[in-house]
Amino acid sequence: MKRTNDGGARRIVVISTGGTIASRWQGTGYAADASGDDVLATAPLPEDVTVEVVDLFNVNSSRMTAAHQLALLRTVQDTFADPGVDGIVVTHGTDTLEETAFLLDLHHADARPVVLTGAQRPFGTGDGDGPGNLYDALQVAATVRELGVLVVFDGRVHAARGTVKTQTLAADAFSDPSAERLGRVGFSRVDIERQPERPAPLPLPAAARTAIPGATGPDATPLPRVDIVTHHSDGDPFLFNAAVAAGARGIVLEATGAGNATPEIVAAVADAVAEGVLVAVSTRVPAGPLAEIYTGGGAVDLVAAGAVLTGTLRSAQARIALLATLLADGGSGDPARTTALLRRLLEGPVRAEPALATGGSRSATAVAGRA
Ligand code: ASP
């Protein structure tokens, strides 16, 4: 479906993927089943915006797979092959939205925005937040440039990097506990307060050309297994080693504190790294950076064993950085190069790199639809 508001000066493509914004009562609970057209029909359109809808898939995002995310990445890049498109909005479940947003952002080399949004309350309910979030996302997509991939929710604009779901039910579902939000949207204005920090973008991985959501057997594109293992009091290397035995090519160790575990887990990490497994260390603490402070099983020893600290990225996005590294560089056979790439994706900004055409620092107020 195509909808136009007045002149239709800005052309936005909405890619629908499911989530609560598309979820209806199924008799026992809610599940995504409304089409992209139905979801779009719930929202008014900002002035001067034309919208086209792509129904890509329809899942609640706890069922998202790397094949779904890569199919979406391919669709985003194919959509931007049309120079007449001004921006993309992706409607997505909130549960894993931060993972998909970050994967898209790591590969996003276009000045035009991709804006992810969704809802905490389901489709077609009187108190639903989906229509307002979709309207705001369209406004942001029609307004900003050179900010990469964004998350728009409850009047806030967030950078993909670092943003996590911090509320299970409340409307203000997302934030970056280690950084300020990027901006605000509302009252026909989009106010951008800072420039997101982004590494030079990766090229589209070969697997994104062939990945088919839900494909199994010979039709499925082989994708690397990447696991997350959480440490806690009483923790031992059993689950970490189980991940290695299951064929994980990347593992996020979600450590305690600023990145600490035990000497036994450090030994397991060293063995895994020696076998070619990429290991990143994040933390179960919501905010703040990882830091090499402690020995005796701490971050000092984990780094010495070959693991990479994740900066201020939390586990789900660190896992995406591992996946992107393996997809980009998995066949290189050069562990030093692979680790350097992972470090670049985890740590983020490499300001001097020309491939990142950010247009300098931006503290702009843009009037929606006219910037
Ligand atoms: N379970 C839903 C999903 O992630 C939650 C949501 O969209 O808010 O698809």
SS3 250: strand
146 CA distance to ligand 1 middle (Å): 28
Active-site hit among 17, 20, 91, 143: 20
For residue range 9-61, list pLDDT tens digits in order: 899 999 999 999 999 999 999 999 999 999 999 999 999 999 999 999 999 99
pLDDT attached to residue 349: 63
Among 17, 21, 23, the mutation site with the greatest number of ligand 1 atoms within 8 A of its Cβ is 23
What mean pLDDT is predicted for residues 220-245? 97
Mean pLDDT of the chain, nearest integer: 92
94 CA distance to ligand 1 middle (Å): 5
For residue range 93-152, list pLDDT tens digits in order: 999 999 999 999 999 999 999 999 999 999 988 889 999 999 999 999 999 999 999 999
The reply to whether 42 belongs to the active site is no
30 CA distance to ligand 1 middle (Å): 10
- Check residues 5 and 79 and name the one with the higher pLDDT: 79
Among 16, 21, 60, 116, the mutation site with the greatest number of ligand 1 atoms within 8 A of its Cβ is 60
Q: Name the percent of the chain lying above pLDDT 70.
A: 92
For residue range 79-105, list pLDDT tens digits in order: 999 999 999 999 999 999 999 999 999
Entry pTM: 0.92
Report the b/e string of 95-114 with b at 16+ CB within 10 A.
bbbbbbbbbbbbbbebebbb
Please give the domain boundaries of the chain with CATH numbers for all domains. 2-197+353-370 (3.40.50.1170), 218-346 (3.40.50.40)
> Does the pLDDT of residue 154 top 90, yes or no?
yes
Q: Which ligand 1 atom minimizes the distance to the CA of 62? A: 4
pLDDT band at 351 (very low <50, low <70, confident <90, very high): very low
20 CA distance to ligand 1 middle (Å): 5
Q: Which ligand 1 atom minimizes the distance to the CA of 21? A: 7
What mean pLDDT is predicted for residues 192-208? 95
For tokens 């062939």, the residue is 210
> Does the pLDDT of residue 350 top 60, yes or no?
no
For residue range 259-277, list pLDDT tens digits in order: 999 999 999 999 999 999 9
For residues 3 and 71, give the distance between their C-alpha atoms in angstroms, rounded to a whole number: 25
CA distances from 305 to 263, 264, 297, 333 (A): 11, 12, 10, 19
CB 70 within 8 A of CB 207: yes
pLDDT band at 347 (very low <50, low <70, confident <90, very high): confident
Q: Which ligand 1 atom minimizes the distance to the CA of 173? A: 8
The answer to whether the CB of 93 is under 6 A from ligand 1 is yes
Closest C-alpha to ligand 1, atom 1: 60
364 CA distance to ligand 1 middle (Å): 32
Torsion of CA 355, 359, 364, 366, to 10 degrees: -80
The answer to whether the CB of 62 is under 6 A from ligand 1 is yes
- Compute the C-alpha angle 78/84/85, nearest 5°: 55
CA distances from 294 to 3, 46, 309, 315 (A): 58, 53, 13, 20
